[in-house]
A and B are shown apart, each in its own frame.
Chain A
Amino acid sequence: AQKVTQTQTSISVVEKTTVTMDCVYETRDSSYFLFWYKQTASGEIVFLIRQDSYKKENATVGHYSLNFQKPKSSIGLIITATQIEDSAVYFCAMRESDSAGNKLTFGIGTRVLVRP
């Protein structure tokens, strides 16, 4: 069974600094996909960035990047040059390649507050 764990409940950072969020996962599948999503105060959930398990290079999109450590089953999210609007809840998620219904399992989320 899939399991995704985010241990940090909330993080507070000063604007323009870097924030790092942890996520570890459990899977028996050799092929899987990892995602990070952001939920804003309005409730909207948007996709940020993904990492395919077979790719060694860490994914980067804009000021989001991933720290993929496959031996540790870890996929951390790094946000550089944070802005006030980065304040949100961040969810880590995983999908196994042979998952029935392509089911996506989410962690419990990490709330990030970016303050001036």
Chain B
Amino acid sequence: ETAVFQTPNYHVTQVGNEVSFNCKQTLGHDTMYWYKQDSKKLLKIMFSYNNKQLIVNETVPRRFSPQSSDKAHLNLRIKSVEPEDSAVYLCASLRGPGNTLYFGEGSRLIVV
């Protein structure tokens, strides 16, 4: 049963446009993440938030900015998309260090 919800699931846009992806988890977890999965299926962490606070910010371009209103929500904004931003963006949540990660279904971005 899905407990991490992402919208939109699919988005096509032109270079230079702004895009936002929304994520909500209903598991009561404290930590949420954004991962990027490229065309080769490689999963790379982008951001980690714990209870609305940014914990991890991997080396991502400045045009990417996470936004968290509460611990159940973590959105991702891309200010001016580039072709290399085409990927699947996966939101995930975690209860604690020894626990498993729960993923959303992903948001596929295609930049033309």
Interface residues of A (CB under 8 A from B): 33, 35, 37, 39, 42-47, 50, 52, 89, 91, 93, 95, 97, 99-106, 108-109
A50 to B102, CA, bound (A): 14
Chain B residues closer than 8 Å to A44, beta-carbon distance: 103, 105
Given contacts A44-B105, A45-B103, contact A101 B41 (CB under 8 A): no
Min CB gap B88→A, angstroms:
7
The answer to whether A52 touches B101, judged by C-beta atoms less than 8 angstroms apart, is: no
The answer to whether B40 touches A108, judged by C-beta atoms less than 8 angstroms apart, is: yes
Chain A residues closer than 8 Å to B75, beta-carbon distance: none
Q: Which residue of B lies closest to A111 (CB)?
A: B41
Min CB gap A88→B, angstroms:
11
B40-98 residues with Cβ-Cβ distance < 8 A to A are 40-45, 48, 50, 55-56, 88, 90, 94, 96-98
**Taking each of B40, B41, B108, which has the highest tally of chain A beta carbons within 10 Å of its own beta carbon?**
B41
A107 to B45, CA, bound (A): 12
The answer to whether B56 touches A100, judged by C-beta atoms less than 8 angstroms apart, is: yes
Known A100-B55, A104-B33, A106-B44; further 16 A-B contacts with Cβ < 8 A: A39-B41, A43-B88, A43-B105, A44-B103, A47-B101, A47-B102, A97-B98, A100-B48, A100-B56, A101-B50, A101-B56, A102-B31, A102-B94, A104-B94, A105-B45, A108-B42
A103 to B90, CA, bound (A): 14
The answer to whether B56 touches A97, judged by C-beta atoms less than 8 angstroms apart, is: no
